Amino acid sequence: MLLLVVVTLVVSAALPVREFLSQRGEIAELAAANAAASERVEELAAERVRVDDPAHIAAEARRRLHFVMPGETAYIVIPPEPAAQDDPVEDTPWYSQLWDSVGEADRPVAAPAP
């Protein structure tokens, strides 16, 4: 009889203990999300202060839009184009070279002029 009472108490206590543990896990997840959101708010507040600065706005206009101040001359450096490949055969895969050689073998060779 005592065993039956103990088992009943354990079974009736299992559900509240399980709920308690799952709620503790959920609280930990929400606390981590709250900390991440607070950090993001701080980052955005710092960015807002930076954007309110006229010097920052001028620097971004120069960088993004290529604006210049009156009296300045703007130069845009265009990078050189890559050099042409001397030997394009080196860059083609072996099977393409093999197939090209088969195609060339089927063409007749022109006879030299006398």
pLDDT one-digit tens code per residue, 28-57: 999 999 999 999 999 999 999 999 999 999
Residue 89 in any domain: the answer is no
Q: pLDDT tens-digit profile of 48-103?
A: 999 999 999 999 999 899 899 999 998 888 888 876 665 555 678 888 888 888 88
Residue 24 in any domain: the answer is yes
Residue 100 in any domain: the answer is no
Tokens of 35: 């900390």
Q: Tell which phi-psi region holds residue 92, choosing left (phi > 0), alpha (psi between -120 and 50) or beta.
A: beta
Tokens of 16: 């509240």
Domain that holds residue 35: 16-78
Q: Which amino acid is at 109?
A: V
Domain count across the chain: 1
89 Cβ contact list (under 8 Å, min separation 6): 97
Confidence (pTM): 0.43
Instruction: Report phi then psi at 92, rounded to 5.
Output: -85, 145
Q: Answer whether 32's CB lies under 8 Å from 40's CB.
A: no
Residue 27 in any domain: the answer is yes
Q: What is the CA radius of gyration of the chain?
A: 38
Spatial distance between the Cα atoms of 112 and 90, rounded to a whole number of angstroms: 30
Residue 35 in any domain: the answer is yes
